[in-house]
Amino acid sequence: EVQLVESGGGLVQPGGSLRLSCAASGFTFSSYWMHWVRQAPGKGLVWVSRINSDGSSTSYADSVKGRFTISRDNAKNTLYLQMNSLRAEDTAVYYCARRGIAAAGIDYWGQGTLVTVSS
Amino acid sequence: SYELTQPPSVSVSPGQTARITCSGDALPKQYAYWYQQKPGQAPVLVIYKDSERPSGIPERFSGSSSGTTVTLTISGVQAEDEADYYCQSADSSGTYEVFGGGTKLTVL
């Protein structure tokens, strides 16, 4: 069974940093591109970042470019999101998500971890 | 930055057909995907590559594409279909992903 379990969320002050982790199991993690998607309270889904299967290519939404870094450790089956210079508008549930093979869309999602940026 | 446009809300009675549109300039070049999200839950993929249905998704869910607009159609809507629906695609270069703003489907 495919499982994606996020951790690392919490309360952080504006300007602070946080690292999210996503532990993957039930599939060959190193074969799949991965995404981070966020959702502010009561708002819609917003794509944040993606990384290819071996970590050599990344992409970011304009709103987080230069502040967030996506990475992965295929030996540990874990996806990361390093978030620096956090702002109040970064407050959201952050989902780890798997991109299916051959343009199959985001076929599995974690349950999300809440990040709250507030003083 | 690239945007996908969806209507904020759609309302239908049970048994009727709901159609949710999504517009974007790059849709003729990039596949579209549709996700269903119920309150407190993670999204679920209901349509991929414009019109393909994942296993386990009821046949009443279908997708279509025409020019810069893609449409999610739910035939014979049931109460359990009440949810938020999001389209997703990429910019013309395929570098950046984007979600539409979401459509709240209300079953009257």
Concatenate the DSSP letters of all residues of A5-46 into one string.
Answer: EEE--EEE-TT--EEEEEEEESS-GGGS-EEEEEE-TTS-EE
3-state secondary structure of B79: helix
The partner residues of B12 in beta bridges, in order of sequence, read B107
Span A10-23, average pLDDT: 98
Q: Which candidate in B48, B85, B93 is best for mutational testing of the A interface (most A CBs within 10 A)?
A: B48
Which chain B residues are Cβ-neighbours of A111 within 8 angstroms? 42
Return the residue matching tokens 């703003």.
Answer: B101
- For the cut 90, the answer to whether the pLDDT of residue A27 exceeds it is yes
Span A37-64, average pLDDT: 97
State residue B1's pLDDT score: 86
pLDDT < 50: residue spans in chain B: none
Mean residue pLDDT of chain B comes to: 97
State residue B3's pLDDT score: 96
Q: Which two tokens stand for residue A40?
A: 């502010």
State residue A79's pLDDT score: 98
Check: CB of residue A80 under 8 Å from CB of residue A21: yes
